[in-house]
Amino acid sequence: MRRLSAGLYLCLLGMLAAFPVIHAAPASPYPLTLTDDLGRRVTLKAPPQRIVSLAPSVTEMLFVLGLGQRVVGVTRWCTYPEAAKALPKVGDLALSEERIAALRPDLIVGDASLERPFLERLDRLGWPILAVAPRRVAEVPRAMELLARAAGKPEAGRREADRFRHRLERLVQAGAENARRPEGRARVFLLLDPEQLYTAGPGTFLDELVRLAGGCNVAAEAKSPWPLLSEEALLLSDPQVIVVACPPPAPVLQKPQWQGISAVRAGKVYQVDPDLLSRPGPRILDGLDFLISVMREQR
């Protein structure tokens, strides 16, 4: 076989270089089937572009994932970030199927721990539903990853979930330092109502946050997640720290019988934005950070 001359060989190389290299387009993951936190198999035909959020925590997750422009409806309680306030409202504690339908969503996302009956009713009616239900702080990043996968942005989900996990790890270490103070964990009372002694009991995010911060929730052994304490029970628990997680002012704090409580006597009463402690979303770590700083002052 005759060898090609150097000139002909170079000419052929030039001709080949003139043709564009065709790369195969990556295969689309859609239709995409996911298992949500109700254990349902959810199939999406395409990345959702019109998302309705039924919970403040979900709204905050969607925005931190960079999906805010796809959110077309929220609840009246969805007050963060600022852009969420201007979106159409589909209700508050009572959600409106008619308002949701008018927004023509291709995905409706809710918190199953808050809205399970409503989500199940929408599911039976054939609406595209995705339910998240983090029960512990450490489960929040998994919910973000699920939302990001549903939206076709898995890399954003991994990034934000990793950021959350790394920060949580650092905060848990700081909280453990608080728990090792010589006198033991500081006794903490969370005030959730300015007029009555409603607080957070076992199984709530707020109870977990107090524990992770290095404190001891005085209502940790209550018989319900949201108990109403009697004044006698509160006085007997004698909290060393009171965290006011409700809008000020709190007239209940001015009662004369409260003035002998250790926290009141020592000026260890702290105001916090209740949303930071009650919404299982990205900002819950800000709430934990706040409680850690409060507990650090007791060391």
Q: Can you give the pLDDT at residue 212?
A: 98
Q: In this predicted structure, what is the pLDDT of residue 271?
A: 95
143 plus 194 within the same structural domain: no
CATH number at residue 96: 3.40.50.1980
> Are both 110 and 44 inside the same structural domain?
yes
Cα(279)–Cα(62) distance, integer angstroms: 13
Residues 38 and 138 in one domain: yes
- CA atoms of 71 and 3, how far apart (whole Å): 65
Q: Output the pLDDT for position 206.
A: 97
Q: Would you give the end-to-end CA distance of the chain in angstroms? A: 89
pLDDT in the model for residue 25: 46
**10-residue stretch averages of pLDDT, the chain, 299 residues long:** 50 51 61 92 95 97 98 97 96 91 96 90 91 95 97 97 98 96 92 94 97 97 95 94 89 83 94 95 98 92
* Sequence-distant (≥ 6) Cβ neighbours of residue 51 within 8 angstroms: 62, 67, 70, 71, 72, 105, 106, 107, 108, 109, 151
188 and 289, same domain (yes or no): yes
Range of the domain at 77: 32-152
Q: Does residue 91 form part of some domain?
A: yes
Q: Is residue 59 a contact partner of residue 83, using CB atoms and an 8 Å limit?
A: no
**What pLDDT is stored for residue 77 in this prediction?**
95
How many structural domains does the chain have? 2
- Predicted confidence at residue 258, as pLDDT, reads 85
What pLDDT does 1 receive? Answer: 44
pTM of the model: 0.88
Which of 152, 172, 193 corresponds to the end of one domain?
Answer: 152
Does 186 map to a domain? yes
- Looking up tokens 């000026």 gives 267
